[in-house]
Structure 1
Amino acid sequence: LVSATAEETETDLTSNANTNNGGGERSNRSNQRSNNKPDSSRSIHTTRSKQILKQPTAQVFQTHPTANTTTTTTFTMSSAITETCPASAPFFGFMGVTSALVFANIGAAYGTAKSGVGISSMGVMNPGLVMRNIIPVVMAGVLGIYGLIVAVIIQGSITAPQGGVSAYSLYTGFAHLAAGLCCGLSGLAAGMAIGIVGDAGVRAVGQQEKLFVGMILILIFAEALGLYGLIVALILSQNSYECGAN
């Protein structure tokens, strides 16, 4: 029994060894076959990586940001110029020219007409005082000269568009409009004052010549209103900003 059991044990060990040897040989063969097979996925990835490395990555990452930055900067500058110097900006400058001349002439015309009516009425009773009392008419006419001066200065500062681009800014247009309104409306107010004072003063001087000095002083202060507007208009007309100058 002992010998039979020993023989069976040896037989089992031999069969296990053969089995292990056979399995090892099979695994070795399978490994060799797998190694001999071409790895297509590895070759594809290797080829792609080589192509990516060969590409000019520096140019790709440098060109696009530069182009975008240039485009953005150009768009920002053009939009800023369009907002600062639109095509409608000269309109305000020419409106300043119109305001200065028209309103000042309206005041001068009213003062001249009103004073002229008084001089004519007074001249019927005392013709010798007509030339002496013509001073209100002269002072009213000076207001029109104020408006003419400001209008010429503003018109000379308005620049025409060059190459389809206007260098005349909104800032300059608003300044010129303000200058024209200051001079024109001040001249209008002064002309109304001179006309009313001249009419009543000339009639009074025709009856009492001692009132002549008082009438002249009143006319001087009325004329000063137009002079104030002229001074401010000259200061405002010097304020300007040209697009593209900086």
Structure 2
Amino acid sequence: MAGNLPRVGLGTYSETNREQWVECVKTALEAGYRHIDTAQVYGNEEYVGEGIARSDVPREEVFLATKTVHVDVPGPTQTEIVESVEESLEKLRTEYVDLLYVHWPAGCYEPETTFGAFDDFHREGLVRNVGVSNFEPETLEEAREMSEAPIFANQVECHPFCQQAELREYAVEHDHWLVAYCPLARGEVFDDPVLGEIAEDHGTTEAQVSLAWLLSKENVAVVPRSTGERHIRENLAARDLDLNDEEIERIDGIEREHRLIDRDYAPWN
């Protein structure tokens, strides 16, 4: 089984009101979350770090993940990558991160240079685990060849309308995590009749059903973005929702195919 990772984390992407993540992160940790996910280009690492510092949860109990190398920042030199990671550590108020992702395999991403920098940090203990994001099987194979450290996780869009069966199978085969971002399809799960019927049968929400379906899959973790305390707590409670085989099969059978994050530079294009 892949290494230890709390299976429900807090996603923190937002284009505005980045200061809100101080309170959201603090609230999530106090509610029981132990996995916080951010990224250099989110522009909120300093607020995420402040939220962790303000909580009563010791830093060593928090699995903290961030990302760098995003198309045109930073890079392409190893020195620039090193400087960016050092800046992230400073903003996050931490001596190490539990997981550092390559954000996109595009633009200034150069496998040998990027993983050379990541491996240096890993050897020094400043990065506990190395991961990738938005990678497909071909780019994953290349990353596994280039990275001295094992690939711990691949973070990709994954929800009932973008089920990523091939990447989930790859994660199991190669013993790493698939971390699902946009696991609620940015609210579109609330409009799906299959999820609605199952949610009604359980007296719960479509969001919790979507998360529980993902958590029923081997080697899958989720990082739903949420800012309100009620939704933060509801998302975490999805760990306790057990779907039966028939319900899982009904969600597996949703034929709608809808990718929300589809950049021109993505490896699948």
TM-score where L is the length of structure 1:
0.19
Pick 1 or 2: higher relative contact order, CA cutoff 8 A, min separation 6: 1
Q: Which has the higher helix share?
A: 1
Q: Which has the higher strand share?
A: 2
